[in-house]
Every structure is written in structure tokens, then in C-alpha cells.
Structure 1
Amino acid sequence: MAGAGKNVDFFKFDWREQKWNLAVVFGAILGGFVAVHFLSDGSGVQINPKTIEQLATLNIEAPNGKLGPESLFGWDALKTPKTIAILFFGGLLIGFGTRYAGGCTSGHAISGLSNLQKPSLIAVIGFFIGGLIMAHVLLPIIFK
């Protein structure tokens, strides 16, 4: 992360030896494209009215049949420094956390727990606590 591999062995990563990771990334992108354009009926996402009310308290409009609110995920959102900062630091934290935890939330929760791995249980508990703190403490502070 940001050149940390030059100073700390833990962050050294050789892409040439791990080419399969690129196949996973391209597969995820391709899978999302296929799901939206060929497997969707176009009706959009149905959201619980209570969730819409909670979003409104944070000044976030309902997605109105889209995957996410335009104020957060539309191109106009990139015009504000606040949104760019959130995306930048969020991306750094996700990348660092994934590398530090030795995998992503889905990998630990699905593969790790099904193999009864104690590190995955600890990671999933940490992800869950972090998600609760983010949703109930930090998100209202960020979007007020």
C-alpha cells in the first residue's frame, strides 16, 4: 500500500506470481456487466420504506429503482471534494484491511468459517463490529 512493500515484508506482493488475481478481478467486472445487462428485469432494487426514511434523515435520497442513490454514486458526486475524499480514504482502508486480514469479508465468512478457521472467525467478528460502528456512528457524522 503506497510503497509499504519496500519497507515492510508483509506488504510485498509479486503480481507476476499471482496472475490469477487479475482473472478474479476481470471476472467480477464481467459478472457484474452480465448480471445488469442480461439477467436483470430492469425493475431496479426494491428498498424497505423504513430504510428510505433513515436515508432521508442523512439527506440521502432513495435510489428510485437504481442500484444506489445518485447523490452518492452518480457522476455529479465526484464534483465535491468531500465525496472524493471519502472514496479515496475508503478505498485505502478497504485495500489495507483486505491485505492485513488476509482476505476479504466474503472469503473469510464463506470459506474460512466453513473450514472452521479461528482467524476467519476473528476477522468476521471484526468486520461485523466495524460495520455496525460505521453504519450507526460514523455514517451519520459523515453525511450530516
Structure 2
Amino acid sequence: MENILQPWPWYVAGPLIAVVMFLLIFMGRQFGMSSNLRTICTMCGADKTSGFFDFDWKAQRWNLVVILGAVLGGFIAMNFLTADPAVAINPETVSHLNELGFESAGKAYLPDELYSLEALTDFKALSILIIGGILIGFGARWAGGCTSGHAISGLSNLQLPSLIAVIGFFVGGLLMIHLLFPLIF
């Protein structure tokens, strides 16, 4: 039973992602999570207020299954296939995060200081979540897709804009964690 609770190794998960991408390319489809938000907004009538949402959302219904699969898969993995919900991270990183005030670092998947119900009453934590969400949403739209869409689907289609976007994601992440993160906390 203990072996089933271990993450799949890269040599299993990687080829499975490649098979899924091959099938999507073969069927003329592209994967991406942020495009689902556009589809949901259009389903709810946003096409009546903005031309951006004026498209045939029914042609994208298949991609909504990705959301359902991500939610169900995450629930099953967390509740039935995870022996320890803590992320195995470098002890030096845990120590550094503890110094910044993240006492749950190394003990939980998400830091309680940002993702607990109590965090919603903390102005600083709530501000970080709202501003971060707006920046991620804006960035995904401006880049023409999210990290999963560009890094998995775009790169597998050998699209130069996706390569540029992925490089930008990594550079932005490095700048954030090494320059801005210590200033915020």
C-alpha cells in the first residue's frame, strides 16, 4: 500500500503527458486551463458585453472536462493517495520560509498563512491573494494562455511564442522569489 502513495516518477508521468498531447494534436485540439475561464464566462452570457467572449463555446466543451478531471483528480490524490500532504522541500528553504513567518513551510502543501480561512481576515494576506490573482489573470490573457497551455501544448506544437512565454514565466518567477518576495515578507 505504501508504494501506491508515492508520486509517479518522471519516466511514467512524462510519457503519459506526451501521449495525451499527441492525442490532442492528432485530434486538432489544444490544451490550456485559462481558456476554460473564457468558455465559462461565455456560457454565462459575457459574449453580450464583450467581443472577446463572442465565440462558439460549444466547440470548447471538451476542454471543460479538464477542469472536472483536475478537481476530481486533485481530490482523489489528496484524500486517498497521499500519505503525507507536506511537500518535500529543501530544509534550508524551510528554514528561510520560517524566518519570513511561514511556520507551516514543509508541513503542509499550501502555507496556512496565506491559504487558511483566517488569512481571509488578514489584510496583507488577502491583498497578496487578490493582487496576485489579478496579475496572473492579466498575464495569462496578455501572454495568450497560461503556463500549462504554453509549456505543455504550445511547446509540443513547437510554437515560438510559447517558448518566449515560458522563458518569461521562469524569469518572472525567479525575479519574484529572489527580489520581490523578501520585500513583501
Task: Map 1:4-23 onto structure 2 (within 5 A).
Answer: 6=49, 9=51, 11-12=52-53, 14=55, 16-17=57-58, 18-23=60-65
Corresponding residue to 1:35 among 77, 81, 106:
77
Matched, 1:45 2:45: no
Range that drifts further, 118-127 or 36-45? 36-45
Range that drifts further, 99-108 or 15-24? 15-24
> Which structure 1 segments of 5+ residues have no match?
none
Deviations 1:45-75 (A, max 9, x none): 2221111121123222143532122112211
**What's the counterpart of residue 76 of structure 1?**
118
- Does structure 1 retain, via aligned residues, the 8 Å contact 2:97–2:105? no
Matched, 1:127 2:169: yes
Letter paired with 2:87 = V
After TM superposition, give the deviation of residue 79 of structure 1 in Å: 0.9
Deviations 1:62-101 (A, max 9, x none): 4353212211221111111111111112111111211221
Aligned length: 139
Point out which structure has higher relative CO (alpha carbons under 8 A, 6+ apart). Answer: 2
After TM superposition, give the deviation of residue 107 of structure 1 in Å: 2.1
* Equivalent-residue separation in structure 1 for 2:107 and 2:63 (angstroms): 32
> Which structure 2 segments of 5+ residues have no match?
1-37, 39-45
Range that drifts further, 130-139 or 112-121? 112-121
Deviations 1:92-139 (A, max 9, x none): 111121122122112212222232211011101111111011111111
Range that drifts further, 40-49 or 112-121? 40-49
**What's the counterpart of residue 137 of structure 2?**
95
**What's the counterpart of residue 105 of structure 2?**
63
* Equivalent-residue separation in structure 2 for 1:43 and 1:97 (angstroms): 30
Q: Aligned residues: percent identity?
A: 53
Q: Give secondary structure in 2 for the equivalent of 1:19.
A: helix
- Does structure 1 retain, via aligned residues, the 8 Å contact 2:143–2:165? yes
C-alpha spacing 1:117/1:97, structure 2 compared with 1 (3 Å): same
